[in-house]
Structure 1
Amino acid sequence: MEFPVPLALAQAVPVLPHARPGVWWYEPKFDGHRIALFRTAETVRLQARSGRDVTSPWMDIAVAGMVLQPGTVLDGEAVIWHDGRLDFAAVQARAASSIDRSRVLAARLPASYAVWDVLEHPDHGDVRGRRYTERRRLLLELLADIGPPIQPVPATDDYDTARVWYETLRAQDIEGIVCKRATSTYKPGRIWQKVRHADTTEAVVVGYTGAAARPRALAVRLADGRTVLTQRLSAALARDAAAYLTTATPGPPATTAAGDTFTTTAVELVVEVLEGTTRHQVVTATRVR
């Protein structure tokens, strides 16, 4: 398999997909740096999501990968554990370090490689065309006698177990859950789903786009005083907002700092927005308060 390889991605969704066991598989979402590991006949190379060679800052993972059989290509996440929790700041420091500095950081806080997929198998070649459950079996066989720092991520096809993981693993800074169809092959693009933990904050609605009876987006004033538009509202959220917006006469048009035009409103309305999106020009509203 040629270096670099295009990687599969996940699309953010609000809730875990629910089906009978065997349809969906769920994996904890680790907070680190995406890395593909290539075990060649002579050495190990590590690839970032962008395709860059990132072997140097993650040399401890590369050295550990030498125990793998040549002809192995894995997909996973470089993470750093500190006091029982994932330390993303340490990951960022390592990724940006020089070769000499990375050695110092690795001695202080060694990295781990959380593996969730096998793309090339030493005995079966390119396995990206096989279904997820087959690749998962091959991955577990490959890593059966390989210990830390290279380990497979946990996985389950039981929805209730996934819910428990989602609710309890946050204390270890696990980001959420990645969901994969049992029948899915491995290919570039957003073929998986991810449900991430996100805190919400309140924002005051000062306007909307579209009609009051069917708003497309809301103009909200954030705690820092900025006025921004939300992402396009879901049908349910648009319906809830319309119940308030239609009680007042539309006000004059106004614009956000980004230059987006909206219709102002005097309605006293507050919505919850995802806190992680409030740094951007477009925020995500989750519900009407």
Structure 2
Amino acid sequence: MDWPVSVALAQSVPELPTGADWSYEMKLDGHRMIMWRTDDGVRLQARSGRDVTAAWGDLALDGHHLQAGTVLDGEAVITTEDGRISFEAAQARAASSPTRAHRLAAQRPAHYIAFDTLQLPSGNVRPRPYNERRPALLNLLTGLPANTPIQAVSATTDRDTALTWYNTLHHQGIEGIVSKRTTSPYRAGRTGAWLKIRHADTIDATVAGFTGTARHPKALAVRLPDGRIALSQRLTTALATRIAPRLVPQSGRAHTQDGDAYTPVSGEVVVEVVAGATRHAVVTVVRLR
């Protein structure tokens, strides 16, 4: 399997699918991550394909307990003192320099919640159905130390249990449910084999420009699926720090349909924004893709 690997994505749906061929997993509010256990060590890959090992060194160290040749798909999460999953803490870690990331890891270690197996030491398992990959994942993780932060995501084949998770665990950082067809292989992109419902649905949007400076952007002008360009709410410091190196400003000024001025950019930078608010032209940037 060649680095980087393209990941499977879930389609947004309004409700959980029904039927005996579906399994339901908790959707955690963290950072998507592929964990590669190679012959030489551990590499961590973001959904975009970037190498993010330096920011998540604690997880890379724990990944050495896996057998060489293992590749997992999952979510890096960080919890607060009260046990709640904090996306803000994960975002801050992802945007940190290696030195700061090491300091943050000492204060609040990360967990890796695996939800799929792409490769075992015996070879590529992506063509195998989910109902074979899931037991393989559980079997793989039973061989890790008891206190490992690498764990399997909670899953059930009972739709009512999944609905209970969805309705009662949002305050703990469970942002939704991912349904996976049990007979489906692992395929990159959105194929309809993975479906998600979440409390605040999001969409991907292309960055058209920014306000502030390229080194310290205050807000982003994003192009929404309907073609409209809207200005986002003010970026968090962690987001601004992570996005700034990707911005290539062009000369001149441009304006949104509402008349807000911004500096246009070249190249393609994609961010995730809250979709529910875009009907009212209020855009909240969630993360960099």
- Normalising by structure 2, we get a TM-score of 0.69
4+ runs deviating over 4 angstroms: 279-283
Aligned to 2:243: none
- Contact 2:200 2:276 (C-alpha < 8 Å) held by counterparts: no
1:171 deviates by 2.2
Aligned to 1:43: 41
User: Given the alignment of the two structures, is residue 115 of structure 1 paired with residue 114 of structure 2, yes or no?
Assistant: yes
Aligned to 2:221: none
1:136 deviates by 0.3
Alignment of 1:45-194 (within 5 A): 45-82=43-80, 83-123=82-122, 125-146=123-144, 147=146, 148-191=148-191, 192-194=194-196
Distance 2:185 2:8 in 1: 10
CA 1:133–1:60 in 2, change beyond 3 Å: closer, same or farther?
same
Distance 2:163 2:46 in 1: 30
- 2:64 counterpart letter in structure 1: M
CA deviation map 1:182-203 (0-9, x unaligned): 001001111311000139xxxx
CA deviation map 1:253-288 (0-9, x unaligned): xxx9369xxxxxxxxxxxxxxx852246779xxxxx
Distance 2:279 2:39 in 1: 45
Aligned to 1:246: none
- Contact 2:75 2:113 (C-alpha < 8 Å) held by counterparts: yes
- Contact 1:7 1:187 (C-alpha < 8 Å) held by counterparts: yes
Distance 2:225 2:111 in 1: 38
- Normalising by structure 1, we get a TM-score of 0.69
1:55 deviates by 0.3
- Name the % identity: 57
1:164 deviates by 1.0
Distance 1:26 1:129 in 2: 20
CA 1:257–1:139 in 2, change beyond 3 Å: closer, same or farther?
same
Aligned to 1:265: none
Aligned to 1:234: none
Distance 2:27 2:115 in 1: 10
1:230 deviates by 11
Name structure 1 gaps, 5 residues minimum.
200-228, 232-255, 260-274, 284-289
User: Matched residue of 1:257: which SS?
Assistant: coil
- Contact 1:170 1:176 (C-alpha < 8 Å) held by counterparts: yes
| RMSD value, Cα | 2.5
Aligned to 1:241: none
Alignment of 1:240-251 (within 5 A): none
CA 1:103–1:11 in 2, change beyond 3 Å: closer, same or farther?
same
Distance 2:2 2:280 in 1: 39
Across the two proteins, how many residue pairs are aligned to each other? Answer: 214
- Contact 2:112 2:149 (C-alpha < 8 Å) held by counterparts: yes
- 2:72 counterpart letter in structure 1: L
- Residue in structure 2 matching 1:196, options 188, 195, 198: 198
Which protein shows a greater Rg? 1
CA 1:102–1:280 in 2, change beyond 3 Å: closer, same or farther?
farther
- 1:194 counterpart letter in structure 2: K
Distance 2:125 2:258 in 1: 46
Distance 2:276 2:169 in 1: 22
User: Matched residue of 1:175: which SS?
Assistant: strand
- 1:96 counterpart letter in structure 2: A
User: Matched residue of 1:177: which SS?
Assistant: strand
Alignment of 1:186-265 (within 5 A): 186-191=186-191, 192-198=194-200, 257=257
Name structure 2 gaps, 5 residues minimum.
202-223, 227-255, 260-273, 283-289
1:19 deviates by 1.5
- 1:157 counterpart letter in structure 2: T
- 1:108 counterpart letter in structure 2: Q
